[in-house]
């Protein structure tokens, strides 16, 4: 099994962070290293009430994993992965926990062009696309400035063409970063937290039982009605369950 090593969190907080959270992080890391995962979790949760980051959520997931709390481990790895989609360590540990889930849900095949777009826009996190946009913008400014200063006609054309391409890359990267932010914000998914829950055909007790789901399974959130939540699996199956049985990612 892949060793779960806490990420160093000293760089995860803003420079203006108070000493309190930083001390809590150091204490949490020490508690985790000493095998006191329950205490480490409590300390990480205290920090998470003030700040959040992919690394912090990842370490909370690690604590739950060490305590054999599969649904909470999956929940926090999923949350961490939303902030850092390309993080291999997060994905690897998430896959380890998913392997412990009882339910095996087949995913509907994605349209080829759509799946290519999904890999493109999801392969990098928001910060990476934003940085690319800034670098492209800076390169565009330099190329345009040189094109204005130089007198050689051919070189001016090359530089203006380069600046135009850099502008397109700037707009593309900035647009993709904005799209990623909106996509994450509107994505409504949840994890089954109870050991098992019946999925019903209607939002009321006594209605037809369609199937049973177990803890750790991820569902897509649809409509709400009173204390009931309509959900859809990646296989396309739809049904209703009590909202208390899930926790939103």
pLDDT for 204: 94
Collapse the DSSP code of 225 into the 3-class scheme (helix H, G, I; strand E, B; otherwise coil) and give the result. strand
- Let me know: does 47 contact 25? Beta carbons within 8 Å: yes
The DSSP H or E segment spanning 241 is: strand 238-242
The DSSP H or E segment spanning 230 is: strand 228-232
Distance CA 161, CA 126 (A): 28
Q: How confident is the model at residue 96 (pLDDT cuts 50, 70, 90)?
A: very high
What number of other Cβ atoms are within 10 A of residue 237's Cβ?
Answer: 15
Distance CA 5, CA 63 (A): 10
pLDDT 10s digits, 70-88 = 999 999 999 999 988 889 9
pLDDT 10s digits, 101-127 = 998 876 655 444 444 444 554 444 566
Distance CA 105, CA 35 (A): 34
Give 60's Cβ-side CA count (13 Å radius). 25
When pLDDT is averaged across residues 17-41 and rounded to a whole number, the result is 89
Between these two residues, 170 and 33, which has the higher pLDDT value? 33
pLDDT for 17: 45
Instruction: Flag whether pLDDT at 248 surpasses 90.
Output: yes
Highest mean pLDDT among 49-58, 97-106, 129-138, 145-154: 49-58
Q: What is the pTM of this model?
A: 0.67
Burial of 208 (0-12, 13-18, 19+ CB in 10 A): exposed
């Amino acid at each position: 099994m892949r060793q779960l090593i806490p990420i160093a969190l000293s760089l995860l907080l803003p420079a203006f962070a108070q000493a309190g959270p930083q001390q809590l992080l150091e204490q949490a890391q020490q508690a985790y290293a000493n095998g006191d995962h329950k205490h480490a979790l409590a300390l990480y949760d205290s920090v998470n009430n003030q700040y959040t980051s992919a690394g912090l959520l990842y370490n909370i997931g690690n604590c739950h994993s060490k305590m054999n709390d599969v649904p909470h481990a999956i929940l926090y790895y999923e949350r961490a992965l939303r902030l850092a989609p390309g993080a291999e360590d997060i994905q690897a540990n998430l896959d380890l926990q998913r392997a412990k889930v009882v339910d095996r849900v087949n995913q509907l095949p994605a349209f080829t062009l759509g799946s290519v777009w999904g890999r493109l826009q999801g392969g990098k996190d928001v910060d990476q696309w934003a940085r690319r946009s800034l670098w492209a913008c800076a390169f565009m400014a330099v190329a345009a400035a040189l094109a204005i200063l130089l007198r050689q006609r051919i070189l001016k054309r090359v530089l203006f063409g380069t600046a135009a391409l850099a502008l397109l890359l700037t707009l593309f990267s900035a647009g993709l970063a904005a799209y990623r932010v909106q996509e994450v914000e509107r994505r409504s998914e949840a994890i089954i937290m109870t050991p098992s829950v019946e999925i019903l055909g209607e939002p009321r007790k006594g209605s037809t039982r369609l199937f049973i789901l177990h803890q750790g399974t991820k569902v897509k959130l649809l409509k709400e009605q009173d204390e009931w939540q309509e959900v859809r699996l990646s296989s396309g199956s739809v049904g209703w369950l009590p909202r208390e049985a899930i926790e939103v990612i």
